[in-house]
Chains A and B, each alone.
Chain A
Amino acid sequence: MQWISFLSEYLIPLVLFYITGFAVLQKRPVFDDFMEGARMGLRTVVGILPTLIGLMTAVGVLRASGFLDALSALLEGPASVLRIPAQVVPVILVRLVSSSAATGLLLDIFRTEGPDSAVGMMVSILESCTETVFYTMSVYFMAVKVTKTRWTLAGALAATAGGIAASIFLS
């Protein structure tokens, strides 16, 4: 697994070097472009603040009510068969529907277990290698008025299952 930590260390510097070098070769005013993009990023982050407040509060309510612990206890048995920690199951299920709600649950795991714990690492990878299956499908198919989606769902779920298995294996 040496090459994986190698990637972790060198991928970002490499991308930064490549993009900056590429833009300089194209004779772009790089810093002006950068500021334009950074300004857009500020707006994006501020834009997601209401979503984040709403969802983190909802997860906070679930956590404090004791529901999340009860759910984890309930899922312990079936989840252990698949070698998935019980807290991860709600993240997986919610992930299929909403990315930001899954983030709310993920941050709860970060808070209780820490991001460097085995569970923390697992959900970090999991959320990075999966997409909101149902949301994406409904948006894309709605645009062309397609209702019979044939094997799209099965394929998307197969890919997601592959991602989940890899997350378990790699953490």
Chain B
Amino acid sequence: MLNGLWAFMMLIGLVWAAFHGNLAAVTEGAVASAGEAVTLCLSMLGIMSFWTGILEVGRRAGLMEQLSRGLRPLLTFLFPRIPAGHPALQSISVNMIANVLGLGWAATPAGLKAMQELEELEEERRAAWQEAGPRAIRRGRASKGLLPGVCPVSRGCASDEMCTFLVVNISSLQLIPVNMIAYRAQYGSQDPMAVVGPALAATAVSTLVGILFCKIRSAV
């Protein structure tokens, strides 16, 4: 996606400059920006390495496991139809905790694993649905997360759990926006940390909106 976007930005910039006689300024701007990117990276090395160092201390001490245990009640609330002890719950909690801590590289593999496990769960539901027949399920023989009257989605279609998981994931869960603090510091902010509180409040709002939306949609 970045390929198209980048080409679009470069080409439209150059064409626009040609029509407005700004070509000299564009060359100057390109050179200055490239240099600025290097300065920015250099000054970010300190704070980013410090932060990844601290997070690694936490990760090796088993912080993710400890925190994901604390997440269990929330997961039961978000995913009432995933049977207790299902491997998907473990992957989802690792993904969420990694996102909270800002460990992007640890979040994605766990997230993709969660998606696969959710797909397997839906496959089990399809099998159970086939075997038991709609009538048995309507009578309330709920197993494998099958609810009376709720039929599984067909293949290639996102299950309720997948939708909820992704909406919560995309709603942003990050506790401390370390990148942003580094950028602000680099551009001469008087108080780079001032973003921490508002960012957390705004993240809480976006996540709550996401959860509310999921709850309403999966209840319909």
Contacts and interface: CB of A to CB of B under 8 A. Distances in A.
Interface of A: 3-9, 11-12, 15-16, 19-20, 22-23, 25-26, 28, 30, 33-42, 44-46, 48-49, 52-67, 70, 94, 97-98, 100-101, 103, 106-107, 110-111, 114-116, 120-121, 124-131, 133-141, 143-152, 154-156, 158-163, 165-167, 170-171
Contact of A159 (B61, B153, B210): B210
Given A22-B61, A55-B6, A154-B213, A131 B169 contact: yes
Given A54-B6, A60-B33, A149-B158, A121 B170 contact: no
On chain B, which size bracket covers the interface? 35 or more
B25 interface: yes
Q: Which 7 A-B pairs have the closest CB atoms?
A: A37-B56, A60-B33, A64-B29, A41-B52, A162-B209, A163-B206, A159-B210
Interface of B: 1-2, 5-6, 9-10, 12-14, 16-17, 20, 22, 25-26, 28-30, 32-34, 36-38, 40-41, 44-45, 48-63, 66, 105, 108, 111-112, 115-116, 118-119, 153, 156-158, 162-164, 166-167, 169-172, 174-177, 179-180, 183-184, 187-203, 205-210, 213-214, 217
Contacts, number: 360
Nearest to B59: A37
A141 B206 contact: no
Contact of A103 (B45, B108, B183, B210): B183
A150 B54 contact: no
Nearest to A11: B196
A159 B33 contact: no
Given A26-B62, A137-B170, A19 B54 contact: yes
B12 A114 contact: no
B59 to A, nearest CB: 8
Contacts of A121: 194-195, 198
Contact of B195 (A70, A128, A141): A128
Contact of B58 (A23, A114, A116, A145): A23
A8 B58 CA distance: 21
Given A19-B57, A41-B52, A49-B38, A97 B17 contact: no
Contacts of B167: 151-152, 155-156, 159
B61 A26 contact: yes
B34 A107 contact: no
Contact of A65 (B5, B6, B20): B20
A128 B53 contact: no
Nearest to A63: B29
B154 to A, nearest CB: 8
Given A41-B45, A64-B25, 20 more contacts: A8-B196, A19-B57, A19-B58, A23-B60, A34-B54, A34-B57, A39-B49, A40-B56, A60-B36, A61-B10, A61-B13, A67-B16, A97-B1, A107-B36, A155-B217, A156-B170, A160-B170, A162-B206, A162-B208, A163-B206
